[in-house]
Amino acid sequence: MTLLRRMGALVGRELRSYFYSPLAWVVLTLFLLVQGYSFYLYVELVNRPDAPHGAVMQQFFGGTFLYWLFVIFVSAAITMRLVAEERRSGTIEGLLTSPVSEGEVVLSKYLAAVLFYAFLWLPTLTYVGVIAGLAGGGPVSWGPVLSGYLGTLALGAALLAVGLLASVLTRSQIVAAVLSFTALSLLLLLGALELFVSNSTLRAVIAHVNLFEHMEELARGIVDSRRLVFYLSVVVFCLVAAARALEAKKWR
């Protein structure tokens, strides 16, 4: 079997496990309920005569506490079972003894998680049409919309990689979820330290990983390649670490 076919089969296996799992539908339902409420706030902001220019997209993409809470919650919930549950049930041994490498297993699980994450956000595209209608059919500013979704997908890709690494490190889904949620919360809060650091070098480093600032720029339509490189670096590091950790645990 070629590499492409093996990866396709593994990704399909993981996606089926998502849609056959009650947890996935609970996450999807909660996600859409919260996004619907956020969209209500979004519409209220549009209707305010004193709404500042550009504030609408900033509110929807990272401008509210609900956005960050649910991006972290969803990332932890999606990834907690990926490896931890298979290690607990013993099915991971059968998978690893098949003609696939640890890297292929990790990458396929990660791609399935990213696809499911993107699927969660897909219904929110209808909000753009609703806003256009409320604006009297005027032209939609696609720059902030597209960059906001790009940032949300890139951010989610990085957070899911961290969550997958946490799932590799334990046999318990609950422990994996707690590890992931804690690590992601600390990464998010790291950006807030920029306000309290006086050293210029350290301040620049913290600014580089400031997720709040990243999404604020993207919500305004500013796409800085350095932000995307940062997310890609997190993904590569976590996936390589997860593959190495899975390889090491295979012999235990």
**pLDDT of 1-23, one tens digit each?**
577 787 888 888 888 888 888 87
pLDDT at 105: 86
Averaged pLDDT for residues 40-68: 68
Which of 9, 239, 233 is CA-nearest to residue 102?
Answer: 239
Alpha-carbon span 150 to 176, nearest angstrom: 27
Chain position carrying tokens 């098949």: 98
Which of 180, 31, 36, 231 is CA-nearest to residue 116?
Answer: 31
Averaged pLDDT for residues 51-67: 66
For the chain, give the percent of residues with pLDDT over 90: 24
pLDDT at 235: 96
What is the torsion angle, in degrees rounded to the nearest 10, for the CA atoms of residue 103, residue 106, residue 112 and residue 113? -140
Vertex 75: Cα angle to 58 and 168 (nearest 5): 150
For the chain, give the percent of residues with pLDDT over 70: 85
Q: Which two tokens stand for residue 118?
A: 């993107």
The count of domains in the chain is 1
Q: Among the residues of 20-80, which ranges form H helices?
A: 22-47, 55-60, 65-79
Averaged pLDDT for residues 228-250: 88
Of 155 and 208, the one with more pLDDT: 155
What is the band of 136 on the pLDDT scale with cuts at 50, 70, 90?
Answer: low
Please write the tens of the pLDDT for every residue from 77-93.
999 888 887 777 767 76
| Residue 51 clears pLDDT 60, i.e. is over it | no
Q: Which two tokens stand for residue 49?
A: 């005569």
pLDDT at 184: 92
Q: Which domain holds residue 66?
A: 3-250
Do the beta carbons of residue 205 and residue 223 sit within 8 Å? no
Q: Supply the pTM of this predicted model.
A: 0.88
Averaged pLDDT for residues 201-211: 82
Please write the tens of the pLDDT for every residue from 168-179.
988 888 999 999
Cβ-Cβ contacts under 8 Å for 32 (sequence gap 6 or more): 120, 123
Round the average pLDDT of the chain to a whole number and report it: 82
